[in-house]
Amino acid sequence: MGQSERTQLLQGTLDMLVLRTLLFGPAHGRAIARHIQQTTEDVLQVEHGSLYPALHRLERRGWIGGKWEARDRNRELKYYRLTAAGRKHLAREASKWHRFITAVGRVMTPVKGGLV
Amino acid sequence: MRRDDDVEREIDAHLEQEIEERQADGASAAAARTAALRALGNPVRIREDVRDLSSWAWIERLAQDIRYGLRVFRRSPVFAFTAVASLALGIGANTAIFGVMDAAVLQPLPVARPHELVVLWKTFQPAGAFAYDSTRFSYPDYRLLRDASHTVELMAASSIRPVSIDHEEVTEPAFAKVVSTNYFAGLGVAPALGRVFSADDEGASVAILGHHYWTRRFGSDREVLGRTIRLDGVPFTIVGVARKDFSGESPGERPGVYTSTALMAPAQLEERGFTWLTLMGRLREDATAQQAATELGAAFANVPRPDAVEPGRPPIALEPGAHGLSRFRERFADPLQVLMAGVALVLVMACANLATLLLSRGATRRHEIATRLAIGARPARIVRQLLTESLLLAVAGGAAGLVLGVWGARFLVGLVAAGQPGVSLDLGPDARLLAFTASVSALAGVLFGLAPAVRLVRSHAAVLGAAEGRVIGATAHTRMRSGLIGVQAALAVVLLAAGLLFGRTLWNLGNQDLGLSLDAQVLQVTLLRERGYRPEAGVVLPRLLQRLEAIPGVASATAVADGTLSSGGSGVYGLEFPGSARLDPDEARSRADWVGPNYFRTVGIPLLSGRDLSLADTGDVPRVAIVNEAFARRYFGTAAAAGRGFTWNNRSHEIVGIAKDAKYGDLRGAAEPRIYFSLLQFGPPQRLEIRTSGVDPGTITGAVRVAVREIDPRQSVGEVTTMGERLGQALARERLLADLSSFFGVVTVLLVAVGVYGTVAFSAATRSREIGLRLALGASRRVVIWSVLRELSAPIAIGLALGLAAVVAGGRVVTALLFGLGPTDAGVLAGAALGLLAVAFAAGLVPAVRASRLDPARVLRD
């Protein structure tokens, strides 16, 4: 059971990162992974083993839509784009995330001279 | 497009891109491909993960697992058969006992709102006897209580009685139950056909057929309504058929026909002293049982009656009646509970055994599992596959067990009912039984499957990780197998001890000195009299006995009021002894029966002094009696009491003989003081007892029937049994326990033998190199045998100790079912321990000796 808890925790974060990445426009799986990796300066390595299941999960929930398109050198790739529902979901998740890191940050780096 | 294909295409595209990029960076085609694959991870697993997102995926997986499991079993039919057979035995035994227990003990009556029902008890005190509690009421009392009650609706029913049914020129015996006209309506039982009795049927000759009797005798003919059948010669009109699942308020009985009170003689319906009805009531919603008891008690005490209890004691009590009132249940509820616990242990045993088998198989499936793990299967997935295989076994075992169990329950009731007329239970497999069997099977499947599956996969995960994995896996297996063998030894010792305890109890009861000879040479014949006919004491009987003794092969004939072994006999109190101080009437008590001439000679109770009763002991003066040793010791302080006397019920009795103490009714209790009054001075007999010599008693029953009809046409012969059979009936409960528990004991010990054999053989096989080396270095065969056997000695010893401890700790609960020994009888414990050790040792010795005969040269070369 411990294992599934851990995946879920990662899942939530990965989902949010994928949605955030797609805010810039449609992208295929590999581009999404690379973007996350490059933006975080390789701090976050995206496991392809969990990326594709995550994409299909998000698609199933209606937050992103996938479509096979040949954009690049005639090769057909599956491009994902954010849906309206996905945009809303991302906004909710982002504000939750900010609240979370602000709270954690207050504990980790207390303001000088504060009571606590 | 199917999602599977979609993902595959996506992954392919991903790989292609990745490979192209790496090649562009200067890598060779092969290196680029390897690197791309490594970066991606296992494509099969990614596909599986995406597929798992689908809500139908589990069904697909299940179907796949089942197909795979079936293939595995087809490849190893011997294993599959062994597993299913031992499961079927364990599950079947549980189903059988549960089936009987559910029908007789657990299920409330199949009537409307059973929890509102109550059963009436009365306390009464026959003249000169002790106070008794009884559930038997007379018809006048039923009417009285019914009419007086505002808190409870009363229904009445007789117990089943044998009748002859004439229908279309065929006469056959059946069992009839006489019920009040509100019986079906009050219980809320609808008819399957026709109608139930109503108040208008009061006094009418109407009958309702029991469903099974209707099916069997009338072929479920729907035209049966309105037809006439003759019960004991009296015509009755069939007005309905009872519902299929209903067979009266007394589980263990199954009436063929329900009748109105017209089956009884008018005199019997008027007689307040003739108690033959069980009263059940349905409490009205706003009434409590206490209120009802008070109300009914007041009405009951309002009528002067000779057997009223002393004022101040409540004459009527109410007990919950949701389960009806069943003699069968009273007698067999305890043994059934013990057996239920026993069969549960048998099932755990079968599971432990199967777990051992699965572990051994695991060794042979090592390669398959390792391969599947290597190509990316998750351990959880393989555990699920192995569990599916276990559950498949459990389903097959459960199905076979259900068949076995339904058959076994019938067999069990047959065993109990042998010689007891009218015992019958509706055992048709119903939803409850199916649910029970299904859940037991599922539980068993998880129980025996989970641990080995987890163990297997874990050890193989270790195989993948460590070079020395094979050894790690093997020791883990061995440890688990040893544990399982220990569990089996513990269970087997418990069941073996139970078998020995109940077997010894049966033997002790059957072979004790009963003080009388209850052999197959003595016949007991129940006499039936015409309704309302009660011949005067001493008028017909002497002629009948003389006529019976004239039959060739009859050594002596006598008659009794209650009958040897038929019950504990009546009790009398308030005895007075001339010349001694007056005793407290409650203290001056004795058991009693009324017996005819030559009684002691006929049943074989030795007379210590004085004489047997004779044909001359008739008329009023002097009243005579024979007492037993216990009576003489208690009231005269000496065994020499012949010639002395006592007064009972204001009549003085002369003691003409002292009889040896005998187990007269209850085979367990110590002999109590007992008086044998002269039946010729009392009333008509209920039973004849006839000792034959030199002939098969069965051959004279015809002559006995003829003799009875010839002497008194108003009497006839009912049930005929030998005393040996009656003794058998008295021991039915003990025999049931002894037979089944010994059977389970033997089965579990055999399972231990199988387990030990398999484990030792397996361990010897895995150690063959080591053994070969030892033999080559000069170890003696005995040392090798011992080294192989030693592995299991610790688990068996521990299991044995735990099992014996469990018997000592838990044995108390069966104390009341034992006779002549305690639950921790040293002989029984030693016997169980030695029996188990002997079997386990023998089972282990065979493969151990085989291992010691290895050719070292060959083993070491291989």
pLDDT digits (tens, 9 = 90+) for B401-449: 999 999 988 888 887 776 566 677 877 778 888 899 899 998 888 888 8
Nearest to B41 among A48, A60, A76 (CB): A48
Q: A53 and B49 in contact by Cβ < 8 A?
A: yes
Beta strands in B129-233 (DSSP E): 132-134, 136-137, 152-158, 161-167, 170-178, 191-194, 206-209, 228-231
Q: Report the alpha-carbon distance of residue B380 to residue B648 in Å, rounded.
A: 83
Helices assigned H by DSSP within B190-259? 211-218
- How large is the ipTM? 0.76
Q: Tell me the one-letter amino acid at B600.
A: F
Letter string b/e over residues B192-205, b meaning 16 or more CB atoms within 10 A of that residue's CB:
bbbbbbeeebeeeb
Q: Name the band, by pLDDT with cuts 50, 70 and 90, for residue B852.
A: confident
Which residues 43-72 of B are in CB contact (within 8 Å) with A?
45-46, 49-50, 52-53
Give residue B712's pLDDT.
87
Give residue B656's pLDDT.
92
Q: Is B605 exposed, middle or buried (0-12, 13-18, 19+ CB in 10 A)?
A: buried
Contact B573, B622 (CB under 8 A): no
Q: B46 and A53 in contact by Cβ < 8 A?
A: yes
**A74 contact residues in B (CB cutoff 8 A):** none
CA distance B373 to chain A (A): 17
Give residue B464's pLDDT.
53
Q: Nearest-CA residue of chain A relative to B46?
A: A49
Q: Which of B325-329, B369-373, B474-478, B773-777 has the lowest mean pLDDT?
A: B474-478
**A48 contact residues in B (CB cutoff 8 A):** 14, 39-41, 46
Give residue B80's pLDDT.
85
Average pLDDT over residues B162-171: 78
Task: Give residue-wise pLDDT tens across range B169-228.
Answer: 777 778 899 999 999 999 999 999 999 999 999 889 999 999 999 998 888 999 999 999
Give residue B420's pLDDT.
65
Q: Name the band, by pLDDT with cuts 50, 70 and 90, for residue B556.
A: very high
Q: A48 and B16 in contact by Cβ < 8 A?
A: no
**B15 contact residues in A (CB cutoff 8 A):** none
Please list, in sequence order, all residues whose beta carbon lies within 8 angstroms of the beta carbon of residue A12, skipping any fewer than 6 positions away: A93
Q: B3 and A78 in contact by Cβ < 8 A?
A: no
CB of B820 within 8 Å of any CB in chain A?
A: no
Which residues lie across from B237 on neighbouring strands? B206, B228
**A53 contact residues in B (CB cutoff 8 A):** 46, 49-50, 52-53
Extract the tokens encoding B588: 């001056």
Q: Name the band, by pLDDT with cuts 50, 70 and 90, for residue B471.
A: very low
Q: B50 and A52 in contact by Cβ < 8 A?
A: yes
CB of B37 within 8 Å of any CB in chain A?
A: no
Average pLDDT over residues B525-549: 81
Q: Name the band, by pLDDT with cuts 50, 70 and 90, for residue A1.
A: very low
**A28 contact residues in B (CB cutoff 8 A):** 13
CA distance A30 to chain B (A): 6
Q: B11 and A52 in contact by Cβ < 8 A?
A: yes
How many contacts (CB atoms, under 8 Å) link A and B? 47
Give residue B581's pLDDT.
73
Phi and psi of B591, rounded to 5°?
Answer: -75, 160
Higher pLDDT, B483 or B272: B483
Contact B258, B242 (CB under 8 A): yes
Extract the tokens encoding B26: 């200067």
CB of A48 within 8 Å of any CB in chain B?
A: yes
Q: Report the alpha-carbon distance of residue B637 to residue B625 in Å, rounded.
A: 18
CB of B42 within 8 Å of any CB in chain A?
A: yes
Which residues lie across from B174 on neighbouring strands? B163
Nearest to A52 among B18, B46, B52 (CB): B46
Give which of A3, A48, A63, A74 to mutate to test B binding, by max B Cβ within 10 Å: A48
Higher pLDDT, B786 or B359: B786
Query: How far from the centroid of its chain's Cα atoms is residue B831's Cα?
Result: 25
Q: Which of B36-45, B234-243, B252-261 has the lowest mean pLDDT?
A: B36-45
Give residue B835's pLDDT.
94
**B8 contact residues in A (CB cutoff 8 A):** none
CB of A31 within 8 Å of any CB in chain B?
A: no
Q: Name the band, by pLDDT with cuts 50, 70 and 90, for residue B1.
A: very low
Please list, in sequence order, all residues whose beta carbon lies within 8 angstroms of the beta carbon of residue B548, skipping any fewer than 6 positions away: B554, B557, B688, B690, B704, B707
Give residue B776's pLDDT.
86
CA distance B107 to chain A (A): 40
Q: A30 and B18 in contact by Cβ < 8 A?
A: yes
Give residue B546's pLDDT.
92
Give which of B3, B11, B20, B40 to mutate to test A binding, by max A Cβ within 10 Å: B40
Q: Report the alpha-carbon distance of residue B201 to residue B184 in Å, rounded.
A: 12
Nearest to A60 among B9, B39, B53 (CB): B53
The dihedral formed by the CA atoms of A46, A49, A55 and A57, expressed in degrees to the nearest 10: -130
**B40 contact residues in A (CB cutoff 8 A):** 48-49
Give residue B20's pLDDT.
85
The half-sphere exposure of B81 on its side-chain side, counting CA atoms within 13 A, is 5
Q: A49 and B50 in contact by Cβ < 8 A?
A: no
Nearest to A56 among B13, B40, B50 (CB): B50
Beta carbons within 10 angstroms of residue A23's beta carbon: 11
- Radius of gyration of chain B, Cα coordinates, nearest whole angstrom: 37
Contact B826, B516 (CB under 8 A): no
Give which of B9, B15, B22, B49 to mutate to test A binding, by max A Cβ within 10 Å: B49
**B39 contact residues in A (CB cutoff 8 A):** 48
**B11 contact residues in A (CB cutoff 8 A):** 52
Q: Report the alpha-carbon distance of residue A33 to residue A14 in Å, rounded.
A: 10
Evaluated on CA atoms B13, B18, B23, B25, the torsion sign reads: positive
CB of B601 within 8 Å of any CB in chain A?
A: no
CB of A78 within 8 Å of any CB in chain B?
A: yes
CA distance A90 to chain B (A): 21
CB of B20 within 8 Å of any CB in chain A?
A: no
Please list, in sequence order, all residues whose beta carbon lies within 8 angstroms of the beta carbon of residue B286, skipping any fewer than 6 positions away: none
Cis previous bond, B622, omega within 30: yes
Q: Report the alpha-carbon distance of residue B646 to residue B657 in Å, rounded.
A: 13
